[in-house]
Structure 1
Amino acid sequence: MEWKVNRSGDKPLYQQIAEFIEQKIAYGEFPPGSLLPSERKLAELLNVNRMTIVHVYEELQASGLIERKQGSGTYVSTHKWGIRPSVYTNWKKYVEGGSFLPTYPLIRRIREEAKRMENGFDLASGELSTDLFPVQALQSAFTQQTIPCDLGYEHPQGHLALRETVANHVMTYHKINTTSSSVLITSGAQQALYLITQCLLSPGDAVAIESPSYYYSLPLFQSAGLRIFGLQVDADGINPDDILALHRKHRIRMIFVNPTYQNPTGTVLADIRRQKMLEISAELGIPIVEDEPFSLLSFEDQKHDPIKSFDQSGNVLYIGSLSKVIASGLRIGWLIGPQSVINRLADARQQMDFGLSVFPQLLANQFLQSADYPDHLQYLRKQLMDRRNLIMSALREILHGKIEFTTPKGGLHLWCKINQEVDDQKLVEEGIKNKILFMPGSVFGAPNGYVRFTYARLRQKSIMEAISRFAEALSRV
């Protein structure tokens, strides 16, 4: 909850909270019939004593603004100040309806805590810490950028100069041959995935994803009515032969993979498997969606060429993003594929929002062409490797074999197996009590007893304390 009580003011806390809720009701933000948070939940959200909320709800009930139903909860009154409206919208039915599903409850719980947690440690959010953002370099790029005279709607595929820069970028860093006409600029990688699932597939289609996988945490597949089947990940990624077996059984229509420093396991799909996967894709006529947000974050000299770099037939849709290498708030990603696919997705995206804002595109274009960009990548890799080493040392020192992991050779995440029986839900709740957040493996399709730590999210000085708090939470489940 963004609103906070004023602890230094003269007005009592319960009165501030009561007036805040009354305002929400008056503005229609809490419509008639809305379920309000429980006393305990609201007390946690506002960091006040539960008895304060009891007093608030008693005041609001006395004024006729809310109704309290034993065993059901506290609701905004449908008889506002004793006057029954002739009609009111039952927003509950609308909120629970629709085809686009909400975020899974456990993930939503973690994200809500991440937004409001003070003096805590976030190992759950899959993004960089603020000290890794190239703020000064971006500021320099911004001051050098001239604002165009024409600020009308952009090209449906995105700003032409940025698409040209992206085409050069993927050739330089990934050996992918493409032109600006085959590039679609998106609002991060997730918008690209959304467009693919909504525009290129139909309800009932079967798709294959890695297991475990970040894709399990995205309701957009279920929202599109797709049937999801897992490809087990081992130390070298998925086994391409498993694609053949799945296709025989379920007629797979598309394969989604994150082959380099995979989220959450950190594994790298072996080069021989990349080639085999592309061969199977061509043989069966099944497109591959290659999601590659971490490929530039290698801690070794060895580079892993994307599947797209071997693709001569246009079977691979390649997704890239600046969220994991520059800043998640920049909201710049891209999708590379056959011209007909790019045109279809660009048309759909234009129907949604008439294209991205030109300003982040101008900034991204300027920064990608600057000398600061390769310097930033080098600095970022060094910082991430140091944090990876620190978190692994902390786990060994503090947990003494209670948890095991394989050293990731790049990326942002450390995938761990807990060597005891645990309930993910209980472990997450104990972590929240101890002000430590992490992602349980179950949200990625793994069984209970796995966790993903994002070592990129914390500053180095905080890592030891964060793991100490996790160890305390683990000891209580």
Structure 2
Amino acid sequence: MWKPDRNSKKTLYEQIADYLEQRISYGEFPPGSLLPPERKLAEQFDVNRSTVIAAFAELRSMGIIESRIGSGTRVSTSKWGATPKHTPNWSRFAEGGSFLPNLPFLRRIREALTHNPTLIDFASGELSADLAPTNEIAVLMGKNAYTSYLGYVNPQGATPLREALVDYLNNYRGIRTTESSILITSGSQQSLFLITQCLLSPGDAVAIEDPSYCYSLPMFQSAGLRLFRLPVDKHGVQPEDIRTLYKKHRIKMVFLNPNYQNPTGALLSEERRKRLLDIISELGLPVVEDDPYSLTSYDGIPPLSLKSMDTTGSVLYIGSFSKIAASGLRIGWMVAPRSIVERLADARQQMDFGLSIIPQQVAGQFLQSDYFGPHLERLRIQLQFKRDLLIESLEKELSGLIEYVVPAGGIHFWCKLIPSIPDGILLEESIKKGIVMVPGSVYGSDSGYVRFTFARAKSEEIALGISRFAEALRGLIE
């Protein structure tokens, strides 16, 4: 993120004017487009608003921008009498297309973290650097020779990685499969994207959990799907609700995150798992099982996957490296019938010709190495430690103001606030205090819920972060 150089001989406002002029000349701000407000730029550049006002005045004197009261500041459509005649309306293009942007709260969180990296991050759903097996992967990369072939590989995924996943899925998740039934993706979200785009059609009805991570993904709405909700309690969804939705709306697919669900942390009970599988088998309904958190089970005994209990081939299973190793490797996988794998691999080839071979080799070697088991044990211990720090801080700072159920695995902590505060106001006040979290409405819940993700923040930041959140909340209550 660019900022003016305070040691430069040029004044701050001149540097800002030059920077904005450059961005305008590059077409980042086309003629007629609206520039960010002075106050926002001042915050971004870490200067006084008066400095930005001076920079705007400089650009205005050169005819590059023009300001109107009540309309903001825009890039001039004419400069020194030269009027562009065929400038595309990029704003209209940016607002068009069938693929919807992220939800406003998620865009606001991303913007806040970009502009202020010192914010304590209880929003990002990834592991902190100290939880990733960085040293182990570095050792493997130093020991092993990588392929000299750096061209495209099979869009279904590199065969050695799929073979390694066969053993991994059998040993760690109780899933028996073959490499021909595995598709490698860039993560769970790409798996979901391929399913929504290739296996479903606009107007199809699908069932998702309530609240649900799926609700935060505009890809479902972009695909034209109709979403119907399955309420989640501390034991997961009620299987009979699936039958009800099928009778009423003829749902075509069910999306579930049964193990340490995002955002609630709920674990689908064994009794409900069996009943759910009976119902979907009876109805001939496919279930997409998203299972990123099972191996984080704090007692070291991962819950069964639905796929391992599936005797009728009704479950499409999705997994990922992101929550158990390193999100930066961009490795995920799907276990599905051969015909589905072929269909999605064909679509995948049209998108990007498949993943890079190198991260696939790294992931395959790590799965088969002596490092993988010890890494999982260390990860579980450290995640439980962070969870306990979070609970201790919540009880100290917010006793009587929140309700929660303690998760037995995963990386998310779901809280109900007492009393409820409008999500937007609470988020903005939290950002002012130096912390970001995710309002519950992002996942489809009513206002008054918050998801704290504790894997990203450093252990020493957790107490301070909750203290800041408590300050923000109490300030709004009072």
Is 1:107 the equivalent of 2:106? Answer: yes
1:300 partner letter = D
Question: How many angstroms apart in 1 are the aligned matches of 2:420 and 2:355?
Answer: 47
Question: How many angstroms apart in 2 are the aligned matches of 1:390 and 1:323?
Answer: 23
CA RMSD of aligned residues (A): 1.1
Is 1:157 the equivalent of 2:156? Answer: yes
Q: 3-state SS of the aligned residue for 1:464? A: helix
Q: CA deviation at 1:143?
A: 1.3
TM-score by length of 1: 0.98
Question: How many angstroms apart in 2 are the aligned matches of 1:143 and 1:33?
Answer: 53
Question: How many angstroms apart in 1 are the aligned matches of 2:68 and 2:249?
Answer: 48
- The answer (yes or no) to whether the contact 2:300–2:380 under 8 Å persists in 1 is no
Q: How many residues align?
A: 476
Q: Which residue does the alignment assign to 2:315?
A: 316
Matches within 5 A, 1:18-417: 18-417=17-416
Question: How many angstroms apart in 2 are the aligned matches of 1:179 and 1:144?
Answer: 28
- The answer (yes or no) to whether the contact 1:145–1:362 under 8 Å persists in 2 is no
Question: How many angstroms apart in 1 are the aligned matches of 2:367 and 2:71?
Answer: 55
- The answer (yes or no) to whether the contact 1:186–1:334 under 8 Å persists in 2 is yes
Q: Deviations over 1:117-175 (max 9, x none)?
A: 14321111111111111111010111123221322210010100001111111110011
Q: Deviations over 1:253-301 (max 9, x none)?
A: 1100000000000000111211221221121111100000001000114
Q: CA deviation at 1:396?
A: 0.4
Question: How many angstroms apart in 1 are the aligned matches of 2:5 and 2:358?
Answer: 36
- The answer (yes or no) to whether the contact 2:198–2:347 under 8 Å persists in 1 is yes
Q: CA deviation at 1:23?
A: 0.7
Q: 3-state SS of the aligned residue for 2:8? A: coil
Q: Deviations over 1:406-427 (max 9, x none)?
A: 1110000110111112011000
Q: CA deviation at 1:313?
A: 2.2
Q: 3-state SS of the aligned residue for 1:348? A: helix
Q: 3-state SS of the aligned residue for 2:126? A: coil
2:226 partner letter = R
Q: CA deviation at 1:252?
A: 0.2
- The answer (yes or no) to whether the contact 1:64–1:82 under 8 Å persists in 2 is no
2:189 partner letter = Q
Q: 3-state SS of the aligned residue for 1:467? A: helix
Q: CA deviation at 1:476?
A: 2.1
Q: CA deviation at 1:36?
A: 1.4
Q: Indicate how the Cα distance of structure 1 residues 200 and 61 shifts in structure 2: closer, same or farther if over 3 A, else same.
A: same
Q: Deviations over 1:195-219 (max 9, x none)?
A: 0000000001011000001111110
Q: What is the identity percentage for the equivalent residue pairs of Structure 1 and Structure 2?
A: 54
Q: Deviations over 1:360-398 (max 9, x none)?
A: 111111111111111111001000000100110011011
- The answer (yes or no) to whether the contact 2:300–2:377 under 8 Å persists in 1 is no
Q: CA deviation at 1:9?
A: 2.2
Q: Indicate how the Cα distance of structure 1 residues 429 and 158 shifts in structure 2: closer, same or farther if over 3 A, else same.
A: same
Question: How many angstroms apart in 2 are the aligned matches of 1:253 and 1:412?
Answer: 30
Q: CA deviation at 1:400?
A: 2.0
Q: Which residue does the alignment assign to 1:418?
A: 417
Q: Deviations over 1:292-338 (max 9, x none)?
A: 00010001144311110111222111000000111111100001100
Question: How many angstroms apart in 2 are the aligned matches of 1:379 and 1:147?
Answer: 28
Bigger drift between 464-473 and 38-47 goes to 38-47
Q: CA deviation at 1:435?
A: 0.9
Bigger drift between 261-270 and 280-289 goes to 280-289
Q: CA deviation at 1:66?
A: 1.4
Q: 3-state SS of the aligned residue for 2:50? A: helix
Gaps of 5+ in 2: none
Q: 3-state SS of the aligned residue for 1:82? A: coil
1:379 partner letter = R
Question: How many angstroms apart in 2 are the aligned matches of 1:81 and 1:394?
Answer: 61
- The answer (yes or no) to whether the contact 1:145–1:363 under 8 Å persists in 2 is no
Question: How many angstroms apart in 2 are the aligned matches of 1:473 and 1:448?
Answer: 16
Gaps of 5+ in 1: none
Question: How many angstroms apart in 2 are the aligned matches of 1:331 and 1:301?
Answer: 25
